[in-house]
Each structure stands twice: as C-alpha cells, then as structure tokens.
C-alpha cells in the first residue's frame, strides 16, 4: 500500500507542535492518495508518544527508542531513517519533515542519500496530476498522476512556486511550522506501533553533544510565548534591546524577537530572529519596534492574534498588516508604554534577572 | 589546515533593476551581489586563517560574472579560489548543485572544514550544505553560531529552537554558519592590492583562481543541470498584497497616543502581575 511518512520531531520526550501539524497535512494527502499515514519517532524513553501520534492521525508509528537517540544528532537519526526506508518493500510515496532546525538538518541528508527531490519550507501541499511536455530532458516527458505539489514562497516571497518531482519516490518536502493545522485529538483512533531496529555505525557517533543551554531568554521559547516584543534595525544599537527586554518583561510569558537586520548587525543572537530564515511565531500579541515589515519578516509573524507596530515612518509596510500602530520614535514611545503598563497594574514588579539576555558568542 | 568556503552570487533583490512586474528576476539585468548569508561563512573561514593559519579556498558555481565574488573574497583575505562554470549546470536544483559542488570540493583537494552559508537569497533552501556533507560522507554542524578548533576537533555552538547546543565534531566536516557571530570584517589592504594585481596579470590570475568545467572536475553531466535535477518548478503564482486595517495613532503627544492604544486593546490578561 502507498505510504505517506512523516518525521515526528520530539525534544525531551515532548512532541514538537510541527509533528501534529504534519500529521494533519499528511492525513489529507494520504486520504487523497488512498495511502496509509505513517510516522517515525526517535528518541529515548518515548514509549508514551505513539498513542499521541495515533490520536493525531497516524495509522502506523515506527518507533526507535534508544539512549543514543536521546538528543537529536544528524548521523544517528539519518542512519535509523535510511535503514527504515531500506527495510520497506517500496519507498514511501511522500516523506514530510518540519522545516525546523532539526528537519532542515536531517531532510537534505536523507534526500541526497536517496538521490531524490526535496522542496524546502513549504506552506501548502496538495496532490494532483502533472504533464511534463518540455523535451529538453526527454526522459522526463509524460503524464504523472498523484504528484506531490510542494508549494512554497520564492523570490523574496512575492511569488509562490509549485515544485514537483514525480519521477522518483519518495517525493520529499520540509514544511514550515505553525502553518498546517493539526487534527482534533481523537483518542478512539486505531493505529499500529512498530519498533524499528537501531543499528549505528562507528562513523555515526563521532559528533558528541557536550551541552545544551536551554532557552533563548527568560526561559521562554519564542514559539510558546504569548507575547513577543521584537526589535529591528530601527533600534540603532545592541543597547536598544535593553528597552525591548524591559517592555517584554511587562508581560506574562513573553519573549524577545528580532528582525534579520538586527541579527545581521550583531545586536542579538540568531535564535531570536523571526521570519523566513528565523522562527515562525503565532503569539497572542506581537509588538514590532523599529521593524519595517519586509515580506520575509511578515511571513514569520503575521498569524499573530494582535500585532502592534511602532515605527517613525507612517508609510512603513508594517502598518499595512499591523492591527494597531503608533507613528513616532520608539525611544519615546516604549518608555511611555512601560510606564503606563506598570501604572495600570501597580502590583507589577519585573521579575529579577529577567532582563538578562543570554549571549552566545564564545 | 585547509578551510573551504562555498559562496554564491545572487541577484540583489533590494535593487529595483531586473525585478520583473510579476516578481520574477531577470538575472541578466539584475544587480549582482555576494549572497549576504555567505558573508558570515566567509568570515568564519577567515577566522580559521587568523587563528589557526589555515589556507582558505573559496568555491563558487555560477556563470562567468560569478568571478566578481571570488575577487571580493580574495580582497577579504581568501588565498585561492575555484570557479565552476559550465553551461550544462543551468537549471540545477539543490541535489544537482550539491553533486557538482561535491566534485569541485574533491578537485580542490583535502580539507578540514567546509563552510557554507545558512542559505541563499535566491535558491533559498538551506539544503546545499547538508547535501554536500552527505556526498562527502562527513558530519555536519548546521546553524553554527561560533566555534573553535581544538586539536583535530571542532567545538561549535549551534542555535536551535529551544536554545543553544555545544557540540564536539571530528574533522573533516561541513559547517553552515548562522548569521550573527561572524560579521565580515573590512577588506584587507593586502587583499585589495592582490585583486588589482590579479586583474592585471592573467598568468597569476589563472593560478589563484581556477576556472573549471564539469570535465575538469570529472563530474558526470547527466547528474548535473536539468537532467540531474529531480525537481522542477512547475508553476509560479503571484501572491496578492494583503491590506489589513490598522488603527493608527499619529501626530499626537506620546502619552496620548500610548494611552489611546492601551485603552483600545485589552492587554489585561497578558500583563505581568
Ligand atoms: C532570503 C531572505 C531571507 C530573509 N529572512 C528574514 C527573516 O527571517 N527575518 C527578517 O526579519 N528578515 C529577513 N530577511 C530580510 C528582510 O528582507 C529585511 O531586510 C529585514 O526584515 C529588515 O529588517 P528591519 O525591519 O529591522 O530593518 P529596516 O527595513 O531597515 O527597517 C527599520 C525600520 O525602523 C524604523 N525606525 C528607524 N528608527 C526608528 C526609531 N527611532 N523609532 C521608530 N522606528 C524607527 C524605520 O522607519 C524602518 O521602517 C530576509 C531576506 C531575504 C532575502
Ligand atoms: N552555486 C553555488 N556555489 C557555491 N556555493 C553554493 C551554491 N549554491 C549554494 N551554495 C552554498 O550552499 C548554501 C546554501 O544554499 P541554498 O541551499 O541554495 O540555500 C549557500 O549559503 C552556499 O554556501
């Protein structure tokens, strides 16, 4: 039977949201294809995960539970993945991974190993026919059914491109987090669980994780924050982020984000970057300070429930998609906001140590 | 020690020239630039030269004008360069690109570290680095923010969604560099003089910058370009501009605007207490 296979990413025994989003997207593709939806999950002491994955839409869960897989490392995960595919009678029709740092690290290795096509960072997926007529490469000409349509923004996102590779299975794609919709959890769903062997080679084990420093700042991940205050090039300096942190600390469960230009300028670590080459976020409130609203930034945050923009240029593109805006100098507006927010909630005391930013330079 | 850095020339998307009305890029007309993400990779490679005395080789695959970014790299202190330039590479997807670059790397000789940018602004996939590592059968460190070399090992920090990881990785390996720690320093005076010299002296230029074809690097043309690419762009579609409604506060005193905003939206449940 045709198979759609997804990679279910987990950290420390907790599924990443993108795992369930991929199951939601994969379920639709599998149903269109008349295929089964399977997923592979790797880690250590993760026997509680298969039931969650089945409730999330999987027909079959392949599980590799082994101490060597506890923390993600490219080569051990790659080995288990390619061995799994080699053990199948026919390769999966489609393989999907999240375009997280892990998915983008692993997927290209697997695609290159399998010599198959891989489309990066898709925002839409579909199944349909495709007729290749161009005779530039005669071996490709023909009508193909059941192709994966991997749709992604391109050229600075002013265009959407539909990318196809029906000539060889698996047809692979990575999918942007927070875009696909997970299915409602259905604990009555039935599915099978299959343990898969973990046979690592010496050369898979050369890289060792020495240390994991959790969290960006305030021990809150951008992806999980309710409120994100982001700073851009308009801050003018690394010191400007002090103010951004101070505003963030006025809110519960908040985090600090940034534009790429602020990161490129060396003012803040890449881990804070929101956008096409950073994180996709969907907080309840996003406050963009000194950010112009370039399309590459927008795609990372425009699903936020409420967007407030502070910019001194009334024509800045960010005001085209922000819900609220203040036109003016952020160095005047933010301190006033902090003051008014604190007055509004007199019991507010900023948490000790919260303004400490972890810096990552060795 | 030998460090390679993979750099690509891309159209400058901020310049209006060469951007068609439908958003596609006319590469012939567009201004060209060094992929901004590759500046960080270049700086990382130059750091191995400064700290460990590495010889740095810049490698690019692209049409003839791509030599411009190799000059730029030399002006920054790169020692030598290889330019893979062959019409049969046209329409390469990432798999075909990685295959061609793999053969170029092998042609360029032994290496300890290959630095790649996080991604290109035109190809925009972040796939070529890991796909190259797969071909080379070496480990990789992606999203690397800073690193040191200790004996024959790389100690690197990488950024992930949930924090930073410190890893120890054997050499040789492939590193893709995140855009923050390694800001490209200024061109060196010596580098700039060297470029002037190379532009005048063809014999020396051909020694420092090798321009090679698929035959020179012994790559199989069937695995390159259109034929070697398992994916194609089947269709493109313009994305409509969104126009939302923004409640805008402007032209009033700061405290009026801020209190206007804060009374308009209820932030009560989000505010720290
Ligand atoms: C392939 C690719 C990937 C990219 N990925 C990302 C990504 O992931 N994330 C991302 O953010 N960008 C990304 N970019 C870059 C993006 O195109 C923009 O260059 C970037 O977002 C601009 O950052 P900015 O808004 O901070 O800076 P600018 O565009 O320079 O805007 C600064 C703004 O600050 C305002 N300002 C200045 N001073 C003040 C002040 N005192 N008070 C108030 N306002 C002030 C100005 O009016 C201006 O609007 C990517 C680009 C490419 C090509
Ligand atoms: N044509 C090329 N020549 C040299 N290096 C390249 C080329 N294409 C991609 N790369 C390298 O691979 C990285 C990722 O590119 P991409 O997969 O296109 O996003 C780039 O930052 C470069 O370091």
B218-266 per-position pLDDT tens digit: 999 999 999 999 999 988 877 665 667 899 999 999 999 999 999 888 7
What value, to the nearest 5°, has the Cα angle with vertex B51 and ends B50 and B53? 70
Where residue A157 falls among pLDDT bands split at 50, 70, 90?
low
Q: What is the pLDDT of residue A345?
A: 45
Compute the average pLDDT of residues B83-102: 97
Q: Where is average pLDDT lowest: A120-124, A157-161, A209-213?
A: A157-161
Query: Is the pLDDT higher at B154 or at B184?
Result: B154
A74 lines ligand 1 (CB under 6 A): no
Q: Which ligand ends up closest to the CA of A120?
A: 2
Answer yes or no: are the C-beta atoms of A264 and B179 closer than 8 Å: yes
Q: What is the pLDDT of residue B92?
A: 94
**Probe site for chain A from B25, B113, B231 (most A CB atoms < 10 A):** B231
Where residue B25 falls among pLDDT bands split at 50, 70, 90?
low
Distance A259 CA to ligand 1 centre (A): 6
Q: What is the ipTM of this complex?
A: 0.89
Q: What is the pLDDT of residue A361?
A: 26
Q: What is the pLDDT of residue B208?
A: 97
Q: What is the pLDDT of residue B20?
A: 66
pLDDT at B16 over 50: yes
> Across the interface, do A362 and B147 touch by the CB < 8 Å criterion?
yes
Q: How deeply is A1 buried, as exposed, middle or buried, from its count of CB atoms within 10 A (0-12, 13-18, 19+)?
A: exposed
pLDDT at A348 over 60: no
Q: What is the pLDDT of residue A221?
A: 76
> Across the interface, do A207 and B139 touch by the CB < 8 Å criterion?
yes
Q: What is the pLDDT of residue B213?
A: 98
User: For residue A266, which residues of chain B lie inside 8 Å, CB to CB?
Assistant: 180-181, 183
Distance B84 CA to ligand 1 centre (A): 34
Compute the average pLDDT of residues A220-229: 85
Q: Write out residues 124-163 of B within 8 Å (CB-CB) of A.
A: 124-131, 133-135, 137, 139-143, 145-148, 155, 157-163
- Residue % of chain B over a pLDDT of 90: 74
pLDDT at A301 over 90: yes
Q: What is the pLDDT of residue A194?
A: 98
Q: Where is average pLDDT lowest: A131-140, B86-95, B97-106, B140-149?
A: A131-140
Q: What is the pLDDT of residue B60?
A: 98
**Mean pLDDT, chain B, as a whole number?**
91
Q: What is the pLDDT of residue B21?
A: 62
Q: pTM of the entire structure?
A: 0.86
> Across the interface, do B155 and A130 touch by the CB < 8 Å criterion?
no
Q: How far is A34 from chain B (nearest CA, A)?
A: 24
A123 lines ligand 1 (CB under 6 A): no
Q: Where is average pLDDT lowest: A39-53, B14-28, B72-86, B167-181?
A: B14-28
Compute the average pLDDT of residues B25-52: 91
Q: Which ligand ends up closest to the CA of A319?
A: 1
Q: Closest ligand 1 atom, CA of A330?
A: 42
Q: Which ligand ends up closest to the CA of A325?
A: 1
pLDDT at A346 over 50: no
pLDDT at A350 over 60: no
Q: What is the pLDDT of residue A358?
A: 30
B212 lines ligand 2 (CB under 6 A): no
> According to the per-residue pLDDT averaged within each range, which of A207-221, A249-263, B178-192 is highest?
A249-263
Best residue among A275, A308, A321, A326 to mutate for probing ligand 1's pocket (most ligand atoms within 8 Å of CB) is A275
HEC-encoded secondary structure of chain B? CEEEEECCEEECCCCCCCECCCCCECCCCCCEEECHHHHHHHHHHHHHHHHHCCEEEEEEECCHHHHHHHHHHHHCCCCEEEEECCHHHCCCCHHHHHHHHHHHHHHHCCCCEEEEECCCCCCCCCCHHHHHHHHHCCCEEEEEEEEEEECCEEEEEEEECCEEEEEEEECCEEEEECCCCCCCCCCCHHHHHHHHHHHHCHHHHHHHEEEECCCCCCCCHHHCCCCCCCCEEEEEEECCCCCCCCEEECCCCHHHHHHHHHHHCCCCCCECC
pLDDT tens digits along A113-154: 999 999 999 999 999 999 999 888 899 999 999 999 999 987
> Across the interface, do A116 and B230 touch by the CB < 8 Å criterion?
yes
A290 lines ligand 1 (CB under 6 A): yes
């Amino acid at each position: 039977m045709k198979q759609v296979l997804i990679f279910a990413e987990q950290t420390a025994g907790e599924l990443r949201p993108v795992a369930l989003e991929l199951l939601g997207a994969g379920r639709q593709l599998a149903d269109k294809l008349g295929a089964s939806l399977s997923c592979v999950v790797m880690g250590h002491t993760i026997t509680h995960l298969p039931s969650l994955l089945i409730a999330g839409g999987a027909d079959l869960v392949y599980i590799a539970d082994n101490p060597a897989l506890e923390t993600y490392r490219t080569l051990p995960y790659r080995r288990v993945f390619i061995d799994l595919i080699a053990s199948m009678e026919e390769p999966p029709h489609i393989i999907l991974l999240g375009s997280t740092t892990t998915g983008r690290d692993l997927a290209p290795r697997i695609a290159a190993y399998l010599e198959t096509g891989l489309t990066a960072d898709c925002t839409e997926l579909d199944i349909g026919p495709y007729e290749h007529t161009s005779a530039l490469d005669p071996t490709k000409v023909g009508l193909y059914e059941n192709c994966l349509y991997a749709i992604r923004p391109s050229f600075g996102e002013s265009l959407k491109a539909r990318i196809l590779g029906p000539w060889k299975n698996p047809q692979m794609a990575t999918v942007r987090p927070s875009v696909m919709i997970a299915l409602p959890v259905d604990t009555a769903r039935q599915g099978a669980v299959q343990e898969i062997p973990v046979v690592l080679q010496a050369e898979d084990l050369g890289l060792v994780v020495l240390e994991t420093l959790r969290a960006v700042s305030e021990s809150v991940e951008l992806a999980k924050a309710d409120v994100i205050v982001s700073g851009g090039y308009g801050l003018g300096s690394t010191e400007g982020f002090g103010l951004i942190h101070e505003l963030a600390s006025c809110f519960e469960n908040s985090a600090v984000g940034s534009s790429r230009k602020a990161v490129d300028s060396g003012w803040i670590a890449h881990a804070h970057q929101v956008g096409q080459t950073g994180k996709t976020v969907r907080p309840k409130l996003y406050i963009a300070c000194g950010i112009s609203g370039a399309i590459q930034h927008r795609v990372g945050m425009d699903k936020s429930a409420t967007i407030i923009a502070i910019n001194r240029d009334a024509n800045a593109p960010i005001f085209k998609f922000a819900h609220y805006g203040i036109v003016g100098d952020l160095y005047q507006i933010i301190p006033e906001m902090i003051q008014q927010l604190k007055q509004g909630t007199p019991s507010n005391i900023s948490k000790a140590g919260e303004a400490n930013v972890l810096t990552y330079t060795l | 020690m030998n460090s390679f850095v993979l750099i690509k020339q891309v159209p400058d998307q901020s310049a209006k020239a060469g951007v068609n009305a439908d958003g596609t890029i006319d590469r012939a007309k567009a201004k060209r630039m060094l992929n901004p993400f590759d500046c960080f990779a270049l700086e990382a490679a130059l750091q191995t030269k400064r700290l460990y005395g590495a010889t740095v080789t810049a490698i690019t695959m692209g049409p003839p004008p791509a030599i411009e970014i190799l000059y730029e790299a030399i002006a920054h202190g790169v020692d030598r360069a290889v330019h893979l330039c062959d019409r049969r590479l046209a329409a390469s997807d990432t798999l075909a690109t990685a295959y061609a670059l793999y053969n170029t790397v092998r042609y360029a000789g032994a290496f300890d570290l290959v630095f790649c940018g996080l991604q290109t602004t035109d190809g925009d996939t972040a796939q070529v680095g890991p796909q190259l590592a797969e071909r080379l059968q070496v480990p990789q460190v992606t999203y690397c923010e800073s690193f040191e070399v200790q004996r024959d090992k790389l100690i690197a920090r990488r950024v992930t969604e949930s924090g930073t990881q410190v890893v120890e990785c054997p050499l040789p390996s492939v590193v893709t560099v995140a855009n923050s720690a390694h800001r490209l320093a200024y061109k060196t005076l010596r580098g700039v003089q060297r470029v002037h010299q190379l532009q005048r002296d063809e014999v020396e230029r051909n020694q420092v910058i090798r321009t090679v074809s698929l035959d020179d690097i012994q790559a199989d043309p069937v695995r390159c370009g259109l034929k070697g690419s398992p994916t194609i762009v089947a269709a493109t579609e313009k994305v409509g501009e969104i126009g939302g409604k923004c409640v805008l506060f402007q032209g009033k005193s700061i405290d009026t605007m801020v209190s206007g905003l804060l009374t308009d939206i209820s932030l009560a449940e989000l505010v720290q207490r």
